[in-house]
């Protein structure tokens, strides 16, 4: 049973560029959430996708956008990268959106913006 998989594992970009991160949820899960984790901090919620729609969003600007595909996999896009976007980006999957479901994480994509 494959867990949550993310690609790439590491990425280096320069300011102003755009980046796309990818995630495949754990088998049996239909909901994908994205989190940003700065060094020394806990994960911060970006948004959640269910049935190919954004269902909830955290306090992140419109530069952060996403997509969910019919097979439940998801992408996170960040436009006009800033130095402060450097972080570990985590994808998490669960079943349903009502809350109270176990949330499982991938290993993350380490993004460095120079």
Partner 1 sequence: GESVGLHLPTLSVQEGDNSIINCAYSNSASDYFIWYKQESGKGPQFIIDIRSNMDKRQGQRVTVLLNKTVKHLSLQIAATQPGDSAVYFCAENYPGNQFYFGTGTSLTVIP
Q: Which positions from 62 through 81 interact with partner 1, judged by CB under 8 A?
A: none
Query: Taking CB under 8 A as the criterion, which residues in 84-103 touch partner 1?
Result: 90, 97-100, 102-103
Would you report the helix, strand and coil content of the chain in percent, each value rounded to 5?
A: 5, 50, 45
| Torsion angle defined by CA atoms of residues 87, 51, 24 and 100, in that order, rounded to the nearest 10 degrees | 70
Residue closer to partner 1 by CB (options 65, 105) is 105
Residue 91: strand pairing partners: 34
Q: What Cα–Cα distance (Å) separates residue 60 from each residue in 5, 35, 73, 102?
A: 23, 10, 21, 24
Q: Binder to partner 1 among 11, 13, 22, 58 (CB under 8 A)?
A: 58
Q: How far is the CB of 65 from partner 1 (least distance, A)?
A: 17
Report the interface residues with partner 1, using CB under 8 A. Answer: 4, 6, 33, 35, 40-45, 48, 56, 58, 90, 97-100, 102-108, 110
């Amino acid at each position: 049973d494959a867990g949550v998989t993310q690609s790439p594992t590491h990425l280096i970009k320069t300011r102003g560029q755009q980046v796309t991160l990818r995630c495949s949820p754990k088998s049996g899960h239909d909901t994908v959430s994205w989190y940003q984790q700065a060094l020394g901090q806990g994960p911060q919620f970006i948004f959640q996708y269910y049935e190919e729609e954004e269902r909830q969003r955290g306090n992140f600007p419109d530069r952060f956008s996403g997509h969910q595909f019919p097979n439940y996999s998801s992408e996170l896009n960040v436009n006009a990268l800033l130095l402060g976007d450097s972080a570990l980006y985590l994808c998490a999957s669960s079943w349903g959106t009502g809350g109270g479901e176990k949330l499982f994480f991938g290993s993350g994509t380490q993004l460095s913006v120079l």
